[in-house]
Protein backbone atom coordinates (compact mmCIF):
# COMPACT_ATOMS: atom_id res chain seq x y z
CA UNK A 1 0.00 0.00 0.00
CA UNK A 2 1.31 3.45 -0.92
CA UNK A 3 1.67 5.74 2.06
CA UNK A 4 -1.40 8.01 2.10
CA UNK A 5 -0.86 11.75 1.80
CA UNK A 6 -3.10 14.76 2.27
CA UNK A 7 -1.95 18.17 1.08
CA UNK A 8 -4.66 19.76 3.24
CA UNK A 9 -3.00 18.25 6.33
CA UNK A 10 0.34 19.74 5.32
CA UNK A 11 -1.32 23.13 4.93
CA UNK A 12 -3.28 23.15 8.19
CA UNK A 13 -0.98 21.27 10.59
CA UNK A 14 1.02 24.30 11.74
CA UNK A 15 -1.96 26.59 12.46
CA UNK A 16 -3.63 23.67 14.28
CA UNK A 17 -0.47 22.97 16.29
CA UNK A 18 -0.28 26.61 17.38
CA UNK A 19 -3.75 26.34 18.92
CA UNK A 20 -3.26 22.88 20.41
CA UNK A 21 -0.07 24.07 22.16
CA UNK A 22 -2.32 26.32 24.24
CA UNK A 23 -5.44 24.13 24.41
CA UNK A 24 -3.59 20.96 25.48
CA UNK A 25 -0.91 22.74 27.55
CA UNK A 26 -2.02 20.91 30.70
CA UNK A 27 -3.10 17.64 29.06
CA UNK A 28 -1.22 14.35 29.05
CA UNK A 29 -3.08 11.82 26.92
CA UNK A 30 -4.91 12.83 23.75
CA UNK A 31 -7.20 10.61 21.70
CA UNK A 32 -7.42 11.63 18.04
CA UNK A 33 -10.68 10.53 16.39
CA UNK A 34 -10.63 10.01 12.60
CA UNK A 35 -6.86 10.34 12.12
CA UNK A 36 -7.20 9.81 8.34
CA UNK A 37 -3.71 9.58 6.84
CA UNK A 38 -1.93 9.85 10.21
CA UNK A 39 -0.05 13.02 9.26
CA UNK A 40 -1.56 15.10 12.07
CA UNK A 41 -0.80 12.35 14.61
CA UNK A 42 2.92 12.29 13.73
CA UNK A 43 3.25 16.07 13.54
CA UNK A 44 1.42 16.72 16.82
CA UNK A 45 3.36 13.98 18.65
CA UNK A 46 6.63 15.45 17.34
CA UNK A 47 5.77 18.98 18.38
CA UNK A 48 3.84 18.34 21.59
CA UNK A 49 6.30 16.00 23.34
CA UNK A 50 4.53 16.34 26.72
CA UNK A 51 1.53 14.49 25.24
CA UNK A 52 0.96 10.82 24.65
CA UNK A 53 -0.93 10.84 21.31
CA UNK A 54 -3.39 8.06 20.49
CA UNK A 55 -4.43 8.00 16.81
CA UNK A 56 -7.60 6.13 15.81
CA UNK A 57 -9.90 5.63 12.86
CA UNK A 58 -12.16 3.16 11.15
CA UNK A 59 -10.37 -0.11 10.35
CA UNK A 60 -9.61 0.56 6.68
CA UNK A 61 -7.48 3.60 7.55
CA UNK A 62 -5.25 1.90 10.08
CA UNK A 63 -2.65 0.50 7.69
CA UNK A 64 -1.94 3.95 6.25
CA UNK A 65 -1.74 5.54 9.71
CA UNK A 66 0.65 2.78 10.79
CA UNK A 67 2.92 3.62 7.86
CA UNK A 68 3.22 7.22 9.03
CA UNK A 69 3.61 6.22 12.69
CA UNK A 70 6.35 3.67 11.91
CA UNK A 71 8.60 6.47 10.64
CA UNK A 72 8.31 8.40 13.91
CA UNK A 73 11.20 7.90 16.30
CA UNK A 74 9.76 9.30 19.53
CA UNK A 75 7.96 7.23 22.14
CA UNK A 76 4.89 9.42 22.71
CA UNK A 77 2.94 8.22 19.66
CA UNK A 78 0.86 5.11 20.30
CA UNK A 79 -0.08 2.55 17.67
CA UNK A 80 -3.39 3.49 15.98
CA UNK A 81 -6.52 1.77 17.27
CA UNK A 82 -9.76 0.97 15.42
CA UNK A 83 -12.47 3.36 16.59
CA UNK A 84 -15.83 3.93 14.95
CA UNK A 85 -17.65 6.61 16.93
CA UNK A 86 -20.92 4.67 16.74
CA UNK A 87 -19.51 1.53 18.34
CA UNK A 88 -19.52 1.54 22.12
CA UNK A 89 -17.66 1.18 24.27
CA UNK A 90 -14.81 3.02 22.57
CA UNK A 91 -11.64 0.89 22.89
CA UNK A 92 -9.99 3.33 25.28
CA UNK A 93 -10.79 4.00 28.91
CA UNK A 94 -9.74 7.49 29.90
CA UNK A 95 -7.87 10.35 28.23
CA UNK A 96 -7.71 13.99 29.24
CA UNK A 97 -7.88 15.37 25.70
CA UNK A 98 -9.78 14.55 22.48
CA UNK A 99 -8.89 15.99 19.06
CA UNK A 100 -10.68 15.52 15.75
CA UNK A 101 -10.07 17.30 12.45
CA UNK A 102 -12.34 17.47 9.43
CA UNK A 103 -14.64 14.73 10.61
CA UNK A 104 -18.00 16.21 11.67
CA UNK A 105 -18.91 17.28 8.11
CA UNK A 106 -18.02 13.80 6.81
CA UNK A 107 -20.09 11.97 9.44
CA UNK A 108 -23.89 11.74 9.37
CA UNK A 109 -25.66 13.74 12.09
CA UNK A 110 -26.30 10.55 14.09
CA UNK A 111 -22.55 9.87 13.99
CA UNK A 112 -21.86 13.41 15.20
CA UNK A 113 -24.24 12.72 18.11
CA UNK A 114 -22.40 9.44 18.75
CA UNK A 115 -19.07 11.31 18.75
CA UNK A 116 -20.17 13.58 21.60
CA UNK A 117 -21.74 10.69 23.55
CA UNK A 118 -18.41 8.86 23.25
CA UNK A 119 -16.42 11.93 24.29
CA UNK A 120 -18.58 12.19 27.39
CA UNK A 121 -17.58 8.65 28.35
CA UNK A 122 -13.80 9.03 27.91
CA UNK A 123 -13.20 12.60 29.11
CA UNK A 124 -13.14 13.30 32.84
CA UNK A 125 -13.96 16.65 34.47
CA UNK A 126 -11.58 19.30 33.20
CA UNK A 127 -10.79 17.28 30.04
CA UNK A 128 -10.38 19.23 26.80
CA UNK A 129 -12.03 18.48 23.44
CA UNK A 130 -10.81 20.26 20.27
CA UNK A 131 -12.56 19.95 16.92
CA UNK A 132 -11.19 21.49 13.72
CA UNK A 133 -13.11 22.06 10.49
CA UNK A 134 -15.60 24.30 8.68
CA UNK A 135 -18.80 25.39 10.47
CA UNK A 136 -21.84 27.51 9.65
CA UNK A 137 -23.04 30.27 11.96
CA UNK A 138 -26.67 31.33 12.37
CA UNK A 139 -27.58 29.16 9.41
CA UNK A 140 -25.13 30.83 7.01
CA UNK A 141 -21.98 29.74 5.26
CA UNK A 142 -18.92 31.75 6.20
CA UNK A 143 -17.64 31.83 2.60
CA UNK A 144 -18.68 30.95 -0.98
CA UNK A 145 -16.01 28.24 -1.00
CA UNK A 146 -17.55 26.58 2.07
CA UNK A 147 -20.95 26.69 0.34
CA UNK A 148 -19.47 24.96 -2.73
CA UNK A 149 -17.75 22.42 -0.49
CA UNK A 150 -21.03 21.68 1.30
CA UNK A 151 -22.79 21.19 -2.06
CA UNK A 152 -20.05 18.76 -3.14
CA UNK A 153 -20.23 16.87 0.17
CA UNK A 154 -24.02 16.46 0.00
CA UNK A 155 -23.97 15.25 -3.62
CA UNK A 156 -21.49 12.60 -2.57
CA UNK A 157 -23.32 11.68 0.65
CA UNK A 158 -26.66 13.38 1.46
CA UNK A 159 -26.15 12.67 5.17
CA UNK A 160 -22.88 14.62 5.30
CA UNK A 161 -22.43 18.39 5.17
CA UNK A 162 -21.02 21.39 6.99
CA UNK A 163 -22.52 21.52 10.48
CA UNK A 164 -24.09 24.44 12.30
CA UNK A 165 -21.85 25.65 15.10
CA UNK A 166 -24.89 26.20 17.34
CA UNK A 167 -26.16 22.60 16.91
CA UNK A 168 -22.72 21.13 17.55
CA UNK A 169 -22.19 23.35 20.58
CA UNK A 170 -25.58 22.15 21.90
CA UNK A 171 -24.40 18.52 21.66
CA UNK A 172 -21.19 19.46 23.47
CA UNK A 173 -23.23 21.09 26.27
CA UNK A 174 -25.44 18.02 26.53
CA UNK A 175 -22.23 16.01 26.90
CA UNK A 176 -21.31 18.15 29.90
CA UNK A 177 -18.86 20.57 28.25
CA UNK A 178 -18.65 24.33 27.86
CA UNK A 179 -17.09 26.25 25.00
CA UNK A 180 -13.70 27.67 26.01
CA UNK A 181 -12.71 29.22 22.69
CA UNK A 182 -13.79 29.39 19.05
CA UNK A 183 -10.59 30.05 17.09
CA UNK A 184 -10.68 31.49 13.58
CA UNK A 185 -8.38 29.40 11.36
CA UNK A 186 -7.05 29.83 7.80
CA UNK A 187 -9.19 28.88 4.78
CA UNK A 188 -12.52 29.56 6.54
CA UNK A 189 -12.08 26.88 9.15
CA UNK A 190 -12.54 27.01 12.92
CA UNK A 191 -11.03 25.24 15.87
CA UNK A 192 -13.57 24.76 18.65
CA UNK A 193 -12.26 24.07 22.15
CA UNK A 194 -14.57 22.71 24.83
CA UNK A 195 -13.87 21.62 28.37
CA UNK A 196 -15.68 19.10 30.53
CA UNK A 197 -17.34 20.84 33.44
CA UNK A 198 -16.00 20.27 36.92
CA UNK A 199 -18.71 18.83 39.10
CA UNK A 200 -17.67 20.60 42.31
C1 LIG B 1 -11.86 14.07 5.70
S2 LIG B 1 -11.19 12.78 6.68
C3 LIG B 1 -10.22 13.69 7.82
C4 LIG B 1 -9.01 12.94 8.22
C5 LIG B 1 -7.98 13.72 9.07
N6 LIG B 1 -8.47 13.95 10.40
C7 LIG B 1 -7.61 15.00 8.41
O8 LIG B 1 -7.86 16.08 8.95
O9 LIG B 1 -7.06 14.94 7.31
C10 LIG B 1 -12.59 12.25 7.62
C11 LIG B 1 -12.27 11.18 8.63
O12 LIG B 1 -13.43 10.90 9.40
C13 LIG B 1 -13.43 9.54 9.70
N14 LIG B 1 -14.77 9.05 10.06
C15 LIG B 1 -15.90 9.09 9.32
N16 LIG B 1 -16.88 8.44 9.95
C17 LIG B 1 -16.36 7.96 11.12
C18 LIG B 1 -16.89 7.19 12.19
N19 LIG B 1 -18.15 6.75 12.18
N20 LIG B 1 -16.06 6.90 13.21
C21 LIG B 1 -14.78 7.32 13.23
N22 LIG B 1 -14.23 8.04 12.23
C23 LIG B 1 -15.01 8.36 11.19
C24 LIG B 1 -12.95 8.92 8.38
O25 LIG B 1 -12.58 7.58 8.56
C26 LIG B 1 -11.84 9.85 8.00
O27 LIG B 1 -10.61 9.48 8.55
Using one digit for the tens of pLDDT, what is the confidence trace for 86-126? Answer: 999 999 989 999 999 999 999 999 999 999 999 999 999 99
What is the structure's pLDDT at 200? 52
Among 90, 103, 116, 189, say which to mutate for ligand 1: greatest number of ligand atoms within 8 Å of CB.
103
What's the pLDDT tens digit per position in 157-180? 999 999 999 999 999 999 999 999
Among 20, 32, 36, say which to mutate for ligand 1: greatest number of ligand atoms within 8 Å of CB.
36
Q: Which residue has the higher pLDDT, 190 or 93?
A: 190
What's the pLDDT tens digit per position in 38-60? 999 999 999 999 999 999 999 99
What's the pLDDT tens digit per position in 142-156? 999 999 999 999 999
Name residues contacting ligand 1 (CB within 6 A): 6, 9, 33-36, 40, 57-58, 61, 83-86, 101-103, 106-107, 111
User: At 60, is the secondary structure helix, strand, or coil?
Assistant: helix
What is the structure's pLDDT at 5? 97
What is the structure's pLDDT at 15? 98
Q: Which domains does the chain have, with CATH numbers?
A: 7-196 (3.40.50.150)
Task: Compute and round to an integer the Cα radius of gyration of the chain.
Answer: 16
Among 57, 112, 130, say which to mutate for ligand 1: greatest number of ligand atoms within 8 Å of CB.
57
Average model confidence (pLDDT) for the chain? Answer: 97
Give the atom of ligand 1 at the shortest distance from the alpha carbon of 133.
8
What is the structure's pLDDT at 27? 98
Segment 125-153 shows an average pLDDT of 98
User: At 189, is the secondary structure helix, strand, or coil?
Assistant: strand
Give the atom of ligand 1 at the shortest distance from the alpha carbon of 39.
9
pTM: 0.98
Geometric angle at alpha carbon 52, from 49 and 57, rounded to 5°: 125
Count CB neighbours of 91 within 10 A.
Answer: 12
Kindly give the distance from the C-alpha atom of residue 199 to the centroid of ligand 1, in angstroms, as a whole number: 31
What is the structure's pLDDT at 198? 81
- Whether pLDDT at 199 is above 70: no
Amino acid sequence: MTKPFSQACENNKLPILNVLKVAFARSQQVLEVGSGTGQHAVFMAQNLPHLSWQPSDQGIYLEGIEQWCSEYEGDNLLAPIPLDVTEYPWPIKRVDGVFSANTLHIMSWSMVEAFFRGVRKVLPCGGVCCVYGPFNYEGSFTSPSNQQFDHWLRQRDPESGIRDFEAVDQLAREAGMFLVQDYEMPANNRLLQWQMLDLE
